[in-house]
Amino acid sequence: MGLPRRFSNKRPALKSLIRRVLKGTDGHGPRTRTPERRDTRGVVAKNPAKSQTRLTAERRAELVADYKAGIPVRTIAAKYGVHRGTIPKFVLESGGALRTPGLSEAGRVHAAALYADGLTLKEVAARLGVDDKTVRNAVVHEGGRLRPQGRRPADSREHEVERQV
């Protein structure tokens, strides 16, 4: 009757006891507080979801200057190694004003006119330096109709060739 229990898996408490006996207790004292981890930029955060980049005051000033110069936020984030959500925080802390995303009223009208002339959303976006979703929103806002996706009809391609010549 005792054989099945003898050959079965050991219970967790017994495994722990055996491990402690074999390992020994020598050299174990009270846990000490771990020292702060540092690198060339300063103190490193413990167990961050993503490693944090600490910017000096000079680098922050450069970041804000790039933002005020009109460089896109994603480009600035890649250049300085920070999250794009951090950039508006730095700009506001420095007393600057945030840019309004999208196109102005005149820009929306111009985008809708270019799209109505036969350019695609991507072509209009490239010409105006904005995202194609911004152009789509501008066309809809101005009351334009979006063309179905896919190839352009043959007559609009001929119109495009005439426009380039």
Residues 113 and 154 in one domain: yes
**Claim to verify: residue 113 and residue 128 sit in the same structural domain:** yes
Q: What is the CATH number of the domain that holds 58?
A: 1.10.10
Say how many domains are in the chain: 2
Per-residue confidence in pLDDT tens, the chain, 165 aa: 556 656 666 677 777 777 777 776 555 656 666 667 777 777 776 665 666 678 888 999 999 999 999 888 889 999 998 888 889 999 999 998 888 777 888 888 999 999 999 898 899 988 888 888 888 999 998 888 888 877 766 655 555 545 554
pLDDT of amino acid 165: 47
Residue 146 forms part of a structural domain: yes
Burial classification of residue 62, based on how many CB atoms lie within 10 Å of its CB (0-12 exposed, 13-18 middle, 19 or more buried): middle
Say if 152 falls within a structural domain: yes
Has residue 43 been placed in a domain?
no
pLDDT in tens, 119-162: 988 999 888 888 888 889 999 988 888 888 777 666 555 555 45
120 lies in some domain? yes
Q: Largest Cα–Cα distance in the chain?
A: 98
Beta-bridge partners for 43: 38
Are 92 and 58 part of one and the same domain? Answer: yes
Give pLDDT, residue 156: 54
Residue 37 belongs to a domain: no
- Are residues 91 and 118 located together in one domain of the fold? no
Q: Output DSSP code: residue 38.
A: E
Question: SS3 for 74?
Answer: helix
Give the pLDDT confidence score for residue 16 in this predicted structure: 78
Looking at the structure, tell me whether residues 92 and 109 fall in a common domain: no
Q: Is residue 68 part of a domain?
A: yes
Give domain status of residue 59, yes or no.
yes
Range of the domain at 110: 105-164
How far is Cα 159 from Cα 116, in angstroms, rounded to an integer? 12
